[in-house]
Structures are given as structure tokens and as C-alpha cells.
Structure 1
């Protein structure tokens, strides 16, 4: 490495926490020096006494290729000739205490297949992308006023060859993408794909933050997956975990013999409930590492967004801790002020470098302005998972319908805060695992009622303001909860109820995408009007969804009991003729077929605060969508 002015400036920015592409300075990069091809290595290890590069090429002997410490900046460097793509390596680090340790490269772009832990030299910018049209279109798309339905996916348990033997990213692309496209989803969200040692951590406890997991292939194989998604018109979101990292010896823990990436204060470093370590968000070099990492995934893999895991665990010092196991901040509060500042800084950097991407926060508390810009005091995300809606709705749906009238507020309360953030309505993997039961099996009643409840819930979800997310398997009514060591129960599609449910989700998506009133004003008060939120006795709610033009309003009526009601009066916003254009009770979907087949003409008598009303049949455990098709003559 030539220590020139540009390099010195990058080092300066790195130590200031402002180097947004630190992965181009650090790590292993094929290069040439004095006309000789090889690989240059650079690693940040300020507390190390000596660092060497070891691998098969030198019989893992640290005496062969020692690195040079560049000035006092803590960065070690060497160039090794005649190495190439695919070379396995680690850093041998001699600590102040005289211990030798072997560490994977924090900036490695590829890693050995677990249980092996070496880093692998893999050059950037060799893949030839074919998604120019998608990337250009993304620049001009207003995501807030567009349909968004996300299919959350864990690759290894969607479908596999046999236990712990997986398809490649390319093979998954050829199977998953046509399936998701056919169902009408707009995005795929992948559980974390950063390199991780333990399958059952699902990627949430990583060791290699810059390496896409080798379980399913190479970095270019994953680029093919993203590229093909874009060619099919599907966006890709990656679950990203900057909150903590695992303690495996070859990873970031005490990287150079001292706390480096983690806090040196155990009260702040330890995530006891997960057995992991928290990043030191106040350390500038860690900020450069994490901000560069987010930009790396968005830039180098053309990802359309990141879903940031466990934000609450970052911003609260007492998250998951008992009373005496944490220390308050300088003002006596429980907020991790360094983490809050880091998150704001990160989001500002990302939207400057990667405009029009999605930054989604899984934030489970009432922290204000999560999805608001930093210049008005927000955290700077553009979306937040609506965990309150999810918890309330699942609690409500799990009740026997006879008890739902006593808890009617669970389906109406969300509208008090629905427009305080830009929300995603998530039914994620966390809700269908560890004894929580599958979405279908949460539903009460007999076999038919379970499916009817599921259809009603999904229709209500798609009618409710906010973007949508559904975990794999829910789309065809998997009975068993998510089994992370098995693949989905695809054989269920041989049964009518499950095949009909899959068709229902397909048709619901088509209907959703065809109706601007269901997504154009998701984040505006004007996009939603209650008709009647008060009918708790019959567990019926009705409301209006508006598009920006207000010309294609939808009247939506939801019945959460198995009772059928005829000649039910619903106040409607305008006079004329209304038709039922979608019903979750359709016989095509396995419903009872209690439809409103004939147009319904308004009756000029006030009802539910409206000047006119219609009379309709209310189907059991179902949601009906009505549209005004003509005005009164």
C-alpha cells in the first residue's frame, strides 16, 4: 500500500467515524505492486504487538508474512504476491499479554463453509449486473405512495435438499422468485445472511459482517439472486443486525486482545439474554465499520433496503437486564445516547449515499419519531415495524369469537397512532416459532373456522393503513409453526383448504395492487375514515380507505364472528350504487359464499354519521370490500 495523501485522508476519516467505504481500505483486495499480482491485506488492530497473515500458502506460520504497523493509527498492512481469489487466510495476532490468537478478517467478503472459520479472498466488482432498468426506476418511485407487500424468507428452511444440505443462491433464485412473483409480493425480506457459525441463530449472531454466508454459495451467487429478483420486478430487503455480535473466538470479540468492537464496560457490552456483545457505538472506528457495512450491502449487492434488527436493544441501556445489571447515562436516564447518535448518523449517511432505499426499524417500544428525519429530531429511518398492531391483532384473533366483543379495542386502538410513523404491519418469523404456533393454528374454532379466521385476518391486514409483511408458510396456511431445521410443509398444497388459501393470498395481492386507495395514502390521516368502530356487540367494524384523488373509495366491512347478518345497515360516504368487489368469504377461497351478488343502492336516510346507507349481507368471519360504481340519477 502506498501511503499517500488519499490513504492518509481515508485513515483520518476512519478514525473520525466518517469513512463510509472503509471496506475498500481494509480487508483483503487483489492488487499489484511493482508489476506483481497478489493480495494486499489491511486490518485495524491498535492494541496488537504483532499481526501476521497466515493460511495454507504459508502453512499457517505467522513468521512467514508479518504485517507492518502504519504509524500510530492502529492499521497493519502487507502485500503478498502470487495470491489470488479463493485464498483462505486469517490474522495471527500477538496480544499485549503474550497470547497468540487466530482471527477471521472483520472485512472479509467471503468465508469458509461452517464449521470452518477462515476468511476467503474474494474480489469486488466482478459481477455483471443486468438490473439497470430496476435501479433507474427505483430512483423515481415514491415508496410511501406505492403498494408494498413483503415476503419474509429464511432460505435454508424454505426448501432444502436434506437437513443442513441447502440449495445455492442461484438455485433458490430459480425456485423462490417465480413463486413470490406469482403470489404478487412486491419485496422479499431475507433473514440475516451475514456469515454466522450456528444455523439455529438464523443469522442474528454474526461473525462476518461483510461476508454473505457461504452456506448457499458465493458472493456472486447472491448477487445473481438479487439481480434476478430485480429482473422480475421484486425488491430485496436484508435483515441487518448492528446491535450485537457473537462471542466465537475467531470473531470480533477482543479482536486484538482487548475490547475493540465491543464496549470495555461489561454492563454495556453484555447482552445477557442472547449471550452476545454490544458494539461500542461511541467509538469512531466502530461507527465507520458499521456505517460502511450498511452501505456495502446496499451498494455492492444492489439491495433495496435493510431491516434493522432489535433497535430497542441498542437505544435502551436496560434492555433485557435486571435492575442492578445496567448503568444509567450521564443524565440518569436509561437511553444509550451514543447508540441514538450513531443511528441518526448512520441513517443520514445511508440516505446521502443510497437515496430511495428502505431503512426499516424493528423498534418495539413507543420511542417517538423513529421514521422521521433527523433534522426534526427523528431517528432517521423511513419505516418502523408496527409491533403494537401485531401484538393486539394476534391477541384478538386467538380469542374465541364469543369473547372478542369484550376486547374490541384491540382492533380499533391502532388507529389512534397509525399515522405517527410510517408503519409496516409485520407478521414475522418471531410470531410463528418457539411454541407460538403458526398463523393458521393461532386461529380458534373448527377446521373451517380456522381458515376463515385466517382469511379475515389477512384481509383486515391488507385493508389497514401500513405496508405489509408476512412470513413464509403463512401464505398457504401451514399448520405447524416454523421448524427451522426442516423445510416448509409443501405437501399441504395437495389439500383443497391449503391450495385455496394460497390462491386467496394471490388474489388478495392482485386486488391490493389494483386498488390505490389501499396504499396511496397509507401514511396520511385523509387515507382512512371510520364508518363504525363501535359495534363491539357483533364484533363488526367498518371504514373507508381513500386514494389521493378520492375517486375510488373503498368501503370495508369486517365481521369477526361466525354469525351471518342480512340487511345489515352500513353508512356510506356518497349516494349511488355499491358493489361487493372482493370478499374473503368467496367460495373460490373456501368460504361459505355469503356474497352480495347484486348491486346495493343507497337509501337516503342518515346512518352512522353519513347522509345515506346501504343494506348488505355480512358474511361470517369475513371481510367485504365495496366500491361505488355509479351515482344516483
Structure 2
């Protein structure tokens, strides 16, 4: 009871003394189950969530702290990092839920790293869409393309997976680009936009992801001895990777600037149209041969061409609302480091095809 009172009072203290506007609860999967989620594959069967493996005391604590946070500060936000898919996780406590506002959609970032270790020619559009949309109905999620799990301690950022050592020599605008740089910048923008467009109701950047930071983060550390006796080597307490070069995104002479401009454009698009909080989300095409993904979110139609060599002309796109459509955001715009291959002055009008479907 003393520990419970301390934890609850601690949550209130940060809200009142430091004016925090919310909390992110790390690794709550480990709390909610006596097996801590280790060596468990959650399939969605309710017996996996509500049984003897459920740590009732931990779940009750999460309910209490969420009830306290929202009871004292109704505008505060609580986000839980859970990979198990615990039902009722984002249902309010008075309705019998755990009480979080959002779940971190952790599978998305892991999926991108998995795909980036393969050739993009082998990417499955249906697999990408399934990962982005695989969440419980009406449960709000915070999605992201990468975080510390992908970019810490010797791993690679998405940008470095895509462009590798070319980033050190060919990101200056006064030097010729390379096919790897051109492809990497294009895919980096598309990965971020499709994640934001289809992956949840909130979007999270991570320490330079918004402009394609090339290097990982590593903090000064010495050797570490594990309980098994195995010794992990340190980095000689080096500060070399213990920094972020945020000046890269602001440099007019580097290609990072265009990638950062694209991030700002994504945020402005969401601010203008509010597509992430729209209840209307419909995936109309996952074409494996064309490598095309098309979906509607709110009033917008998103069209992604992930093909490594093919461009498409007069491509028919199904949509639910008839009328005139215009380009709202183009990842190939020169402002974003693209090649401006789309004419933004063209209006696109829907037509009625066979079967009375609007295209």
C-alpha cells in the first residue's frame, strides 16, 4: 500500500509542480503479466489476457493512476507502451477499461526495419497495410517510423539503412547526387507519410528522424557484466555518438533541408484537414505487382507508388466522394528534394464507371 500511495502521489506531483501535460508509461506489458510478456506470442485469444498470468495488482495500479490523472487534470494525456494488445487498454476506467488515452503502435517501427533489411522489390504492400492498420477498433494509437529501439546503440536510423555511407559524401546540394541518395530520400518521405496517414491517431518523431539524421545514438558507457556472466563491451565512454546534429535540417546547402521541409508539410496537412482523427479510413488498393497503396483518410485520398522503377499515368483511383480533386501534398516536390514530376495545376475529376462506382 505504501508503494501504491507513493506511485500515485508521484504522478500528481509531476502534474502539479512541473505542469506536465501527460505521461508515457514505458513497457507496461512487462507489468501486466506474471510472465512479463517474455517468450510470448499474443494471438488475440482472450485467454491470453484474462487468466492466471494476468498481474491483477499491476493492472489495478494502471487503472488507479489513469483515473487519478484524468480526474485531477481532464486534459492530461496518458500513453501506454504495450505490445500484447490488452483489450480495454484505451477504454476509460469508469467503463471498465485500463484508462489510457493512446497505445504506442510499436509494431510499425519494427516492421520498417525488417523491410529495410530486404530489397524494396520484395516488399509486400498487403503486409505493410496490415501492420499499419492492425489495431483494435476505436482504440487510438500513437504511431512512428522509428524510435530509440531502432536508432540506439549501434543500430541504424532509417535514413542510414536507406542511404548508408553515401550520406557522408553526397548530401550537399552543390555535389551530384547518387541513385542511392535519390531513392533513399524518396522512400524516407514515403515511409513517414504512409505511417502518419494510416498508422494511428497521433504521430511521433524521434530526435532527427524529421530530416533523416544519419547516425545512431550511443551514450558514454564502459563494459557491462550480465547476470549470466557475459561481458558486453562498452565504447570507452565515448561522446562521439552522444549528440544530434539538428543543424543539418536547417542548412540550406544540404539535402536534409528538403526532408525537414517535408515533415513540416505533413504537420500542416494534418492541421488543415485533421485526417488522423477522422473516423473515415478505407484502403481501396494494395497492388502487389504495381507496388501501389491507395487509401482514404478523412477527406483526403493518399496514393503511394513504392515501385522501384515504374511511374504510372492515367492511373484509375477509386474514391467515395465524387467531384474535383487537387494535389494537397506531393513528396516529389522540388522543395522536398524531389524532381517535380507532377503538375499541381491539374484538376482531377471523378467519373462513374461500370457498376456505378466512383473513380
TM-score bucket (shorter structure): 0.7 to 0.9
Instruction: Check whether the contact 2:265–2:329 (CA below 8 A) recurs between aligned residues.
Output: no
Alignment partners' CA distance in 2, 1:292 and 1:376:
24
Alignment partners' CA distance in 2, 1:530 and 1:439:
25
Q: Say whether residues 1:499 and 2:257 are aligned partners.
A: yes
Q: What do the CA deviations read for 1:556-592 (whole angstroms, capped 9, x no partner)?
A: 1112223211111111223322111211111111112
Are the structure 2 counterparts of residues 303 and 490 from structure 1 closer, same or farther at C-alpha, using a change threshold of 3 Å? closer
**Match 1:530 to one of 264, 283, 291:** 283
Q: Say whether residues 1:448 and 2:196 are aligned partners.
A: no
Are the structure 2 counterparts of residues 610 and 423 from structure 1 closer, same or farther at C-alpha, using a change threshold of 3 Å? farther
Instruction: Check whether the contact 2:21–2:77 (CA below 8 A) recurs between aligned residues.
Output: yes
Q: Say whether residues 1:540 and 2:292 are aligned partners.
A: yes
Are the structure 2 counterparts of residues 398 and 567 from structure 1 closer, same or farther at C-alpha, using a change threshold of 3 Å? farther
Q: What do the CA deviations read for 1:376-405 (whole angstroms, capped 9, x no partner)?
A: 332111111011233334433553221013
**Match 1:431 to one of 139, 150, 171:** 150
Are the structure 2 counterparts of residues 530 and 610 from structure 1 closer, same or farther at C-alpha, using a change threshold of 3 Å? farther
**Match 1:337 to one of 56, 65, 70:** 56
Q: TM-score, structure 2 length as denominator?
A: 0.79
Q: Say whether residues 1:482 and 2:234 are aligned partners.
A: no
Matched residue SS, 1:440 = helix
Alignment partners' CA distance in 2, 1:321 and 1:604:
53
Alignment partners' CA distance in 2, 1:491 and 1:374:
44
**Match 1:471 to one of 192, 199, 206:** 206
The equivalent residue for 1:594 is 341
Alignment partners' CA distance in 2, 1:415 and 1:322:
24
The equivalent residue for 1:70 is none
Alignment partners' CA distance in 1, 2:268 and 2:247:
25
The equivalent residue for 2:19 is 302
**Match 1:457 to one of 191, 198, 201:** 191
Are the structure 2 counterparts of residues 536 and 610 from structure 1 closer, same or farther at C-alpha, using a change threshold of 3 Å? farther
Q: TM-score, structure 1 length as denominator?
A: 0.46
Q: Where do 5+ consecutive residues of structure 1 fail to align? A: 1-283, 324-330, 547-552, 614-633
Are the structure 2 counterparts of residues 487 and 414 from structure 1 closer, same or farther at C-alpha, using a change threshold of 3 Å? closer
Are the structure 2 counterparts of residues 513 and 394 from structure 1 closer, same or farther at C-alpha, using a change threshold of 3 Å? farther
Matched residue SS, 1:470 = coil
Q: CA RMSD in A?
A: 2.4
Q: Which has the higher helix share?
A: 2
* Structure 2 counterparts to residues 36-47 of structure 1, below 5 A: none
The count of corresponding residues between Structure 1 and Structure 2 is 308
Alignment partners' CA distance in 2, 1:515 and 1:401:
31
Are the structure 2 counterparts of residues 418 and 588 from structure 1 closer, same or farther at C-alpha, using a change threshold of 3 Å? farther
The equivalent residue for 1:311 is 28
Are the structure 2 counterparts of residues 448 and 322 from structure 1 closer, same or farther at C-alpha, using a change threshold of 3 Å? closer
* Structure 2 counterparts to residues 54-133 of structure 1, below 5 A: none
* Structure 2 counterparts to residues 355-394 of structure 1, below 5 A: 355-394=74-113
Alignment partners' CA distance in 1, 2:149 and 2:71:
32
Matched residue SS, 2:318 = strand
Q: What do the CA deviations read for 1:322-350 (whole angstroms, capped 9, x no partner)?
A: 89xxxxxxx98222111111111221122
Q: What do the CA deviations read for 1:14-66 (whole angstroms, capped 9, x no partner)?
A: xxxxxxxxxxxxxxxxxxxxxxxxxxxxxxxxxxxxxxxxxxxxxxxxxxxxx
Instruction: Check whether the contact 1:295–1:354 (CA below 8 A) recurs between aligned residues.
Output: no
Instruction: Check whether the contact 1:396–1:410 (CA below 8 A) recurs between aligned residues.
Output: no
Alignment partners' CA distance in 2, 1:332 and 1:567:
55
Alignment partners' CA distance in 1, 2:75 and 2:246:
36
The equivalent residue for 1:136 is none
CA-CA distance at 1:418 after TM superposition:
5.3
Q: What do the CA deviations read for 1:149-199 (whole angstroms, capped 9, x no partner)?
A: xxxxxxxxxxxxxxxxxxxxxxxxxxxxxxxxxxxxxxxxxxxxxxxxxxx
The equivalent residue for 2:266 is 508
CA-CA distance at 1:509 after TM superposition:
1.4
Q: Where do 5+ consecutive residues of structure 2 fail to align? A: 41-49, 164-178, 220-238
* Structure 2 counterparts to residues 175-186 of structure 1, below 5 A: none
Q: Give 1 or 2 for the bigger CA radius of gyration.
A: 1
Alignment partners' CA distance in 2, 1:425 and 1:489:
24
Are the structure 2 counterparts of residues 332 and 610 from structure 1 closer, same or farther at C-alpha, using a change threshold of 3 Å? same
Q: Which has the higher strand share?
A: 1
